[in-house]
Amino acid sequence: MSSSFPNEKLKKWFLSSKRDLPWRQNPTPYAVWISEVMLQQTQVAVVIPYFNRWMQAFPSIEALAIASLEEVIKAWEGLGYYSRARHLHQGAQYLVEHCQGELPADEKELKKIKGLGPYTIGAILSFAFHQKKAAVDGNVLRVLARYFQIEEDIAKTSTIKKLRDFAESILPDEESWISSEALIELGATICSRKAICQECPLKSNCQSYLHGLSDKLPIKTKAIKTQYLYRAVAIVKCGDYFLVKKGKKGEIMSDLYEFPFFEVSQEGITFKELQENIKLHWNLTVHLLQSLSSIEHGFTRYQARLDPCVFNCLEMSPVKDLEWLDTKSLKQKAFSSGHRRIFQSLLSLDID
Ligand code: ADE
């Protein structure tokens, strides 16, 4: 199929229009690994500063391996899906132990590394090692489903497999890595959800464009429904100390700090009820200082509304599963993004 696919047009377009992204300046295997993991579920504009800071903080696989998990999570703070950061850390330690601190140029060996799936493996082998491999992410699925007018659900494994096979078969023998990355770029910039077909280098061969179907394809069923959460957040303060909770291993917010909260119904609860809960569950006597504005906060498949209230407490009695930390040390900790916003609004308040 590669002979009929307009690779030359695609390449010419890519080489003249590609975005100048930091991981493209020196696509070492490590830089490709980090950038591609960051780019999963996160937009390019958000990833750029994280990638730059990460490469400064952990310039090599070895540097990442010897960093503490807390430092790694802190560098990831705000990107979400924190298992990605934990896997990078574990992966770096594995590579130092088993592969002299280098990513291997071999699919079977790469599969042994935590968190590496077919897409990231394809990207590393293609962009860094220049092997003839496709890297098929959501962008490429969309481009190919439109180009070949595939009317099957691209959320289905069988369709993904078919499109992956198409992707491999259209790659040219020469400089295939340029075509691999060009397909991603095309999906990210032109053949995006709302396609800008007039600017597409492939339009004269694209079956969906030729049949007026670009805005109908691809077909993708939504697999997971959003779950709504309502949380009454108790900010309990004693002098300069706050009561916080560190997510435990295996929990959705593992290794991230949050203010403790109670799950409530959509109507929420009054500060009096929250005060009673604090007494009942943590045996702390507290007095209301201030309620803060609600914060909407989305993570994985959840959408949470956080209703924070600040309370004063006269004694720092120990509370099971919670810890008292002062402002200075809290500034060093990684928070989940909703609770980071609460912490920032706390810092701007004048409460004592
Ligand atoms: N999205 C996923 N991978 C990408 C890459 N290498 N460049 C730009 N956007 C991307």
- Range 10-39 average pLDDT: 97
Neighbours of 174 (CB within 10 A): 10
Q: Give me the pLDDT at residue 350, please.
A: 73
Active-site annotation holder among 8, 36, 62, 323: 36
Q: Does the CB atom of residue 137 touch ligand 1 within 6 A?
A: yes
- Range 55-60 average pLDDT: 98
Q: Does the CB atom of residue 184 touch ligand 1 within 6 A?
A: yes
Nearest atom in ligand 1 to 123's CA: 6
Q: Binning pLDDT at 50, 70 and 90, where does residue 81 land?
A: confident
Please name the residues in contact with 183: beta carbons below 8 A apart, sequence gap of 6 or more.
Answer: 10, 134, 139, 140, 143, 144, 167
Q: Tell me the percentage of the chain whose pLDDT exceeds 70.
A: 99
Q: Give me the pLDDT at residue 164, please.
A: 95
- Per domain, the residue ranges of the chain are 5-209, 225-346
- Is 36 noted as a catalytic residue in this protein? yes
Q: What is the mean pLDDT of the chain?
A: 94
| Choice from 39, 121, 137, 141 to test ligand 1 binding pocket (greatest atom count within 8 A of CB) | 39
Query: 225-346: what fold?
Result: Nucleoside Triphosphate Pyrophosphohydrolase (3.90.79)
Q: Does the CB atom of residue 128 touch ligand 1 within 6 A?
A: no
**Of 27, 101, 116, which is closest to residue 64 (Cα–Cα)?**
101
Neighbours of 97 (CB within 10 A): 10
Q: Whole-angstrom Cα distance, residue 205 to residue 187? A: 16
Q: Does the CB atom of residue 63 touch ligand 1 within 6 A?
A: no
Report domain 5-209's class: mainly alpha
Q: Give me the pLDDT at residue 300, please.
A: 86
* Encoded tokens for 229: 């959460």
* Separation of CA 151 and ligand 1 centre (Å): 25
Q: Give me the residue label for tokens 């002098």.
A: 239
Q: Does the CB atom of residue 31 touch ligand 1 within 6 A?
A: no
Q: Binning pLDDT at 50, 70 and 90, where does residue 25 land?
A: very high
**Of 62, 159, 51, which is closest to residue 102 (Cα–Cα)?**
62
Strand partners, 257: 246, 335
pLDDT tens-digit readout, 172-210: 999 999 999 999 999 999 999 999 999 999 999 999 999
